[in-house]
Amino acid sequence: MSQSVMTSGNRPEKGMGKSPAERTEPTGSGLRGFMRSSGGDYLLLAVFAAAILTMPIWLAPIGAGYPDILQKFAIFGIFALGFNILFGFSGYLSFGHAAFLGVGSYAAVWMFKLLSMNAFPALIFAVLVSGVFALLIGFVSLRRSGIYFSILTLAFAQMSYNLAYSVLTPITNGETGLQVNRSDPRILDQLFGGTSMTVPDIFGVQLQGWAGFYFCAVLLILAFFITMRIKNSTFGLMLFAIKANQTRMSFTGFSTRPYLLTAFVISGMYAGLAGGLLAVTDPLAGAERMQWTASGEVVLMTILGGVGTLLGPVIGAAVIKYLEQIFSSFNEGLLHRAFDFLPTAVQDIVVAIVAPFVGEGWQLTLGLMFMIVVIFLPGGIMEGVGRIARRVRRDKPSDDGAASKAGH
């Protein structure tokens, strides 16, 4: 059974159909699974899709209405969504997820170099390679749980990072990073007389600017849809059961490892897709993407948004990337202009206080946010929203349902 679950990493619903947990009728796959989902989910998906696609309009007033940052929102949204499938659903905290992001980037750039500048082979290869990579690492790491699991994943990620810088230089091009050159073979492009440009495209449409954003956005919506389906499937339920009480799960007669491994591989593939997209929007891959601070960042995104929720990770990723953009672009001169409305003396003091937190100091703000979120709002933004919503609807007696509603 474990084999069937493992090999169906792409579509967990199918594998689940064979699990003993399932009632005899195979649910969760194909049209039936579609029908089973409540209408509310599709409303959520529609609203989500509309919100993502109209981001250029409604994010313009806060200065984020340009493709560069919006596609970052989408890419890191995918990354965090995938991370959440592992950490949020099953409670296993991986501290090495950036390794899959980096592997995905490298794989995509290699496809650009060898086959074609078309984005699809690159992305498919990125997802496959990172999936296999995740299978290997997950197979070993998931023999342990708790902090041991975190340290194992961290160790593997550090290993990959170190290797990418040293021995694997022929593959990764070391510190320079892997780049696309005009002299690359690009077999498919040669055969079909494709472009000689070094810009990734999908069948002639260059993925730059707005085209790049919409490409990422569509993939984000797709990723969101799959995550939603996973959450509503029996498989998702299994993961939540593992999070709630793994011992009890195994006492009930389930081998938890196949489920965890599937979740690990899926989330690795999400990371690979995100890494591939990073390469699509900018065909360059470097080892610094695999550093463990990058792994920490995706953890923060997920927590900030709301662990185990659907929307949370996407919101968290967007907030972090937005703040990163804003904070790191400020300098003292800009600060003085921003606090122009204050009297000069006060202005100088305010600027002196704020200055360490912006520009180069963005990391400091990030660390502080990390602490504040974990200390005061471990449920993330979604929990905060849920709390406010509950306070507004005082007339209803508060029940457990409110807490689970925060889960959307």
Partner 1 sequence: MDAIILQILNGLDKGGAYALIALGLTLIFGTLGVVNFAHGALFMLGAFCAVTFERVLTLSERVRDPSVTFFEAYKEVPYLTIWYGDAGQAIVDWAVPLSIILAIPVMLIVGLAMERGLIRFFYKRSHAEQILVTFGLAIVLQEIVKYFFGANPIPLTAPSALTGSVDLGHWLGLTGISYPLWRIVYFLFSLVVIAAVFAFLQLTTFGMVVRAGMADRETVGLLGINISRKFTIVFGIAAVVAGLAGVMYTPILAPNYHLGMDFLVLSFVVVVVGGMGSLGGAVLAGFLLGILQSFASMTEVKAIVPGIDQIIIYLVAVVVLLVRPRGLLGRKGVMEA
Report how far residue 266's alpha carbon sits from residue 13's, in angstroms, rounded to the nearest whole number.
Answer: 12
Q: Residues 293, 329, 331, 404: which binds partner 1 (CB under 8 A)? A: 293
Report how far residue 220's alpha carbon sits from residue 113's, in angstroms, rounded to the nearest whole number.
Answer: 25
Q: Which segment (39-47, 74-82, 86-94, 213-221) binds partner 1 by CB under 8 A? A: 86-94
Q: Residues 334, 348, 356, 393: which binds partner 1 (CB under 8 A)? A: 356
Q: Residues 79, 89, 95, 106: which binds partner 1 (CB under 8 A)? A: 95
Report how far residue 392's alpha carbon sits from residue 396's, in angstroms, rounded to the nearest whole number.
Answer: 10
Coil, strand or helix: which one is 145?
coil
- Tokens linked to 223: 């990723």
148 makes contact with partner 1 (CB under 8 A): yes
Which of 175, 360 has the CB closer to partner 1? 360
Q: Residue 354 CB, nearest distance to partner 1 (Å)? A: 13
Q: How many residues bind partner 1 (CB under 8 A)?
A: 45
The DSSP secondary structure of 351-367, one letter per residue, reads HHHHGGGSGGGHHHHHH
Residue 225, burial from CB neighbour count under 10 angstroms (0-12, 13-18, 19+): middle
Which of 66, 165 has the CB closer to partner 1? 165
- Tokens linked to 272: 């690979």
Question: What are phi and psi for residue 203, nearest 5 degrees?
Answer: 50, 55
158 makes contact with partner 1 (CB under 8 A): yes
Q: Residue 63 CB, nearest distance to partner 1 (Å)? A: 25
Q: 230-289: which residues touch partner 1 (CB under 8 A)?
A: none
Which of 158, 325 has the CB closer to partner 1? 158
Q: Residues 18, 32, 36, 143: which binds partner 1 (CB under 8 A)? A: 143
- Tokens linked to 198: 């070094």
370 makes contact with partner 1 (CB under 8 A): yes
Cα distances from 267 to residues 67, 270, 298, 405, in angstroms, run 26, 5, 12, 24
Q: Residues 44, 163, 188, 403: which binds partner 1 (CB under 8 A)? A: 163
Q: Residue 393 CB, nearest distance to partner 1 (Å)? A: 29
Which of 277, 320 has the CB closer to partner 1? 320
Give the residue from 55, 56, 180 showing the smallest Cα distance to 119: 180
Which of 216, 300 has the CB closer to partner 1? 300
Question: CA 336, 342, 344 angle in degrees (round to 5)?
Answer: 70
Q: Residues 12, 15, 33, 91: which binds partner 1 (CB under 8 A)? A: 91
Look at the block and give the residue holding tokens 């849920």.
Answer: 386
Report how far residue 357's alpha carbon sits from residue 336's, in angstroms, rounded to the nearest whole number.
Answer: 14
363 makes contact with partner 1 (CB under 8 A): yes
Q: Residue 117 CB, nearest distance to partner 1 (Å)? A: 31
Report how far residue 7's alpha carbon sits from residue 20's, in angstroms, rounded to the nearest whole number.
Answer: 17
Which of 91, 212 has the CB closer to partner 1? 91
Interface positions with partner 1 (CB under 8 A): 87, 91, 93, 95, 140, 143-148, 150-152, 154-156, 158-159, 162-163, 165-168, 292-293, 296, 299-300, 303, 356, 360-361, 363-364, 366-371, 374-375, 378
